[in-house]
Amino acid sequence: MKALLIVLSLFFVHGLFADTDSKNEDKKSPTDLKKLSDMVTELAQKSITTCKESTTDKTPFYISDEYRQGDKIWENFRSIEDHTKKVSYIPRGSIVHAPVELAEASYHPNYRVPVEVLSLPDKKWEDDLLEESGKRGNRHFRHKALTPKGLPRSQIGDQGFLDRRALIPAGKFTFFVKQGSRLEKTPGGLDLTDFPLVLVKDGDQFAGERCCEYELNEEPACYFKYRFAALNESFDPVEYFDLDPLRCGLLEDIMPVPKRSDFDVSVSRILSKMKEEYPGFGILEGVSTENKKLSGLHFLPEYKGSNLNTIHRPYMVKIPLDHETGEGPFNSYHYKPDNIASNDSFLRPKPLCAFMEVMKQFQKECGGGPGCQVQFGNFYHDPDWNVHESHGNGTCVDIRPFRDSSDADARITRSSGQYNRERTRKFINLLKRAGAWPIFFNDSKIKGSRWLSNHDDHIHACFHHSNKYVKDACNDGL
């Protein structure tokens, strides 16, 4: 009805102007009337949209998590007809929304929410975790991704029930946009793959504008345009724009990264280091260069205790690698991986970021070439493996000592003929500058490294997550 009024009033206004323009006030020529009636028809076919500044406490969408699944990377997805029936599994990190209509139309207890699936994480992530290997430890990774037999993976568009406690509001995430996204640029022209997005809050409400579309003979269609901020490298907002994320196809092209413990900031720094070295590197797609194909960033979600307040293992991220050759960024190489997917190369993002900075600087100082290859081994291992207990918190790395010229994948020790003390010293100095502590390696001629049994053939270094130098190395470089 309101739409009709708007159309009629426009008609009326037009009529007034037509009258003042017209010399002959009393007579309207048939052509004028024809014009007016054409205009009414045209207006009736168009919709009119009005927007006004507003706020809402309703999250535009949720990121799926798990509730009491232990160290699993998925949650049960239940039938929309019968909330007690499991119909599929939904990987953590999926994007879902909870439309009011769905809640009104279905019977369910309060702790279950009817949702629709809008986007799912890369399937490759699950396949990599499931990758078999001969090593006993690998079953821990398999276990995280194994699902009950016969239960399919949820798909985009599926409607069903999720436990309320397995839903995290979108405001707790930073969104990284993948290459070739439908929404490539911000309205101001920023390339979205270079500027992560966050939802803007006004107090505890989401900022934005409420828009209504009026069409003749139709109820107005109203929706909320959420305000997004595009962030620069320092995570300062550089542009604001409003959009309804459910209407623009953005959600299938973004990767939600938790804001918790600087995780998102460190991920962003890892991305920019990768992009600097490999232009075109994408968070999901990685990059293909002439001689290697580096994977994108895969995450290992946190593992919560059953009371949900204990974090047994924080979020981690995997170093981008070429899984065929074992080569990584900045002339690095992953030796003795647990399996083809290198499941033993997850690290907390700030330590990984600092370690990447060390490798980057080392290539500059060492001059590149085979003798400068950084050969690294274990990163994160589940603590109950008993081997390498200190690798259980995702902050420690093993690196082989450096050698003269060969890039062969072979163990050397501080007493091998190939051992190059100068290069090893340079690397250990960079580790120290990046805040690594402790550093174990059994060459007493190198200051700053400590003796520990079994450390003749590798350097063991840890980057503590809360150490200021680690943070500075990651954010500002060495």
Residues 391-410 that bind Zn ion (CB under 5 A): 398
- At its nearest, how many Å lie between Zn ion and the CB of residue 417? 24
**Which residue has its beta carbon closest to Zn ion?**
460
Report the C-alpha gap between 390 and 237 in whole angstroms: 38
- At its nearest, how many Å lie between Zn ion and the CB of residue 379? 9
Residues 183-202 that bind Zn ion (CB under 5 A): none
- At its nearest, how many Å lie between Zn ion and the CB of residue 336? 12
Q: Is the peptide bond before 438 cis (omega within 30 degrees of 0)?
A: yes
- At its nearest, how many Å lie between Zn ion and the CB of residue 374? 15
Residue 322 or 398 having the CB closest to Zn ion? 398
331: region left, alpha or beta (phi > 0 left; psi from -120 to 50 alpha): left
Q: Which of 462, 393, 394 is nearest to 434 (CA)?
A: 462
- At its nearest, how many Å lie between Zn ion and the CB of residue 470? 17
User: In the 8-state DSSP scheme, what is residue 294?
Assistant: E
- At its nearest, how many Å lie between Zn ion and the CB of residue 472? 24
CB under 8 Å to 409, separation ≥6 — which residues?
326, 333, 335, 375
Distances (CA, A) of 62 to 92, 148, 290, 309, 375: 11, 24, 39, 20, 40
Residues 296-335 that bind Zn ion (CB under 5 A): none
# of chain residues touching Zn ion (CB under 5 A): 2
Write the interaction track for Zn ion spanning residues 108-147; mark x where CB under 5 A is met and - where it is not: ----------------------------------------
Residue 460 or 464 having the CB closest to Zn ion? 460
Residue 306 or 454 having the CB closest to Zn ion? 454
Question: In the block, which residue shows the tokens 């590798």?
Answer: 458
- Residue 448: strand, helix, or coil: coil
Residues 193-252 that bind Zn ion (CB under 5 A): none
275: region left, alpha or beta (phi > 0 left; psi from -120 to 50 alpha): alpha
- Torsions phi, psi for 125 (to 5 deg): -60, -50
Residue 223 or 335 having the CB closest to Zn ion? 335
Residue 88 or 395 having the CB closest to Zn ion? 395
Residues 419-478 that bind Zn ion (CB under 5 A): 460
Task: Note the residues at the interface with Zn ion (CB under 5 A).
Answer: 398, 460
